[in-house]
Amino acid sequence: MANPYEEAGVNVNSGYEVSNFVKQNLAMQHANANNIGNFGGMYEIPEGYEHPVLISSNDGVGTKLLLSVQGKKYDTVGIDCVAMCVNDLLAQGAKPQYFLDYLATGKVDSKIKQVLKGIMFGCELGQVDLIGGETAEMPDVYANNDYDIAGFSVGIVEKSDILRKENVQIGDKLIGIKSSGLHSNGFSLIRKIFFKDHDFSFDTHLPEMPDQKLGNVLLEPTRIYTKQIVPLLEQKMIHGIAHITGGGFYENIPRMLPENAAAMIDINSWKPQAIFDIVQKYGDIQLDDMFHIFNMGIGMVLAVDSNISSDVLRELNRAEKQAFIIGEVSERETDSVVLSGGSI
């Protein structure tokens, strides 16, 4: 006799299968898998803090998910989800500690395992423990192939080490760290440009990128900056951090600046990845608008004391050239972000 819940479209065993899948994969990574399947995730606060402050972040991936469904490529968006949460924690000076996910779909099938593999890999990159999550099968809310994802992460910081606006000083140098591409912002516009206005497909090879599928370039996962940022935080070398997400330079950089300060940025001090020129070309977007919407090749901006800026650059560029001095903090006259160079 059929289970009545299954007759309503829900596979009662799917949750157990997902839980076991995560447990087995975490065990292979030598991580603590005992939390998975419990009613709540447990985490012991590390010792050594005098006044520990927990900082929390949650985020999703936005309409980039629709591109994942379009191309039937599910193994990267989990990385995006971890990145969007973890990078926000770093921007407040916190060392990421643990992560939980929420997945909802019309049908739990192989795509969910691919998404979860991305989440687990993202946790490895972000140096956080995956301590729990939820997978919901909701056939009347989502079509079988559709899904949504959200992440929740917590970091820890000594209260005196929280990165506050007043830490940033006039004269500080601004150091930009490269992004991996578009990250997870602006995809409603991205999809309009490439798949509505120009009717390209996931598999299109543009003349500007003849060796790559357009969809794969757009799905390049968001870079996670734990490895780069945490050592600098531990050495107290950073005054402020801006995570460049939705709203680009103009919205995110002011979030780390005191009211009397402005970021003076030379856009010729780094070269964005080719995808940004391609988006600007096919979308017929003004350069200033590009900086209002996208990260333009810079995923993190650090404010550091000018006396140690060369030391910070040396640390960041030890293994690869990934960081550049892109400007400085000045007295604010009108705008809080002033771009110079190019056609701005």
Question: What integer best gives the mean pLDDT of the chain?
Answer: 92
- Tell me the per-residue pLDDT of 255-284, one tens digit each, with 9 for 90 and over: 999 999 999 999 999 999 999 999 999 999
Euclidean distance between CA atoms 344 and 337, whole angstroms: 12
86-113 tens-digit pLDDT: 999 999 999 999 999 999 999 999 999 9
Whether 25 has a pLDDT exceeding 90, the answer reads no
10 Å CB burial of residue 189 (0-12, 13-18, 19+) is middle
Asked whether residue 22 carries a pLDDT value surpassing 70, the answer given is no
- Neighbouring-strand partners of residue 105: 137, 147
Instruction: Read off the pLDDT of residues 36-54 as tens digits, 9 standing for 90 and up.
Output: 667 788 888 889 999 999 9
Q: Where are the domains of the chain?
A: 4-41+48-161, 165-340
Superfamily of domain 4-41+48-161 in CATH is: PurM-like, N-terminal domain (3.30.1330.10)
Q: In what order do the strands lie in the sheet with 52-60?
A: 52-60, 147-158, 95-105, 129-137
Tens digit of pLDDT for each residue in 217-233? Answer: 999 999 999 999 999 99
Q: Are 186 and 283 spatial neighbours (Cβ–Cβ below 8 Å)?
A: no
Q: Centre a 10 Å sphere on the Cβ of residue 197 and count the other Cβ atoms it contains.
A: 12
Is 163 within 8 Å of 132 (Cβ atoms)? no
Q: Which residue type occupies 339? A: L
Q: Which residue has the tokens 């949504």?
A: 148
Top mean pLDDT of 20-24, 65-69, 130-134 is at 65-69
Single-letter amino acid, residue 270: W
CATH architecture of 165-340: Alpha-Beta Complex (3.90)
